[in-house]
Amino acid sequence: MPKVKLEEEYATRMESHGWVFPLIGCRVYDADTLMDLQLDLGFGLTFTTTGRLFGINAPEVRGKEREAGIRSREWLQAELDAAEEVTIKTIGVESRAQQGKFGRWLIVVFADGVNLNEMMVWKGMAETAMY
């Protein structure tokens, strides 16, 4: 998919229906997958799931990309740890959150208001990608 098309789709889907939840905690598997993602739903309710960072592809922590994958994962973990407030925005269409091909919820991560999905691309920790 051409880069311009990716950027248009990303912008369109970011403006789409979605919900924003405070992050209670998670385990960073790699820089595009958050496991044991615990969200505060309000009213004393929490939800634990797995999230796939939307619009990016980060290096894997196994195989030939291992070093870059670990570097990206550690960067993301450090950003999450340093933030005073981390929120998760779901990506949705017509009031329904969407899941990726492996059943992970498509999400955008914000640390103190900064879009970490975009920041990882800008810092060279991930590439723009649509799945």
Per-residue three-class SS string for 15-66:
CCCCCEEEEEEEEEEECCEEEEEEEEEECCEEEEEEEEECCEECCCCCHHHH
> Which structural domain, as residue segments, surrounds residue 29?
3-126
Q: Look up the CATH number of the domain holding residue 72.
A: 2.40.50.90
Residue 1, pLDDT above cutoff 50 = no
In a domain, 75, yes or no: yes
Q: Tell me what the mean pLDDT of segment 87-96 comes to.
A: 77
Number of Cβ within 10 Å of residue 45's Cβ equals 8
Q: pLDDT tens, 69-80?
A: 999 999 999 999
In a domain, 70, yes or no: yes
Three-state DSSP class for residue 92: strand
8 A C-beta contact, residue 89 and residue 107: yes
8 A C-beta contact, residue 80 and residue 88: no
Lowest pLDDT segment from 10-14, 63-67, 92-96, 112-116: 10-14
Q: Tell me what the mean pLDDT of segment 90-100 comes to.
A: 69
Handedness of CA 114, 65, 105, 13 (dihedral sign): positive
Binned at pLDDT 50, 70 and 90, residue 103 comes out as confident
Q: In total, how many domains does the chain have?
A: 1
Residue 5, pLDDT above cutoff 80 = no
Residue 26, pLDDT above cutoff 60 = yes
In a domain, 131, yes or no: no
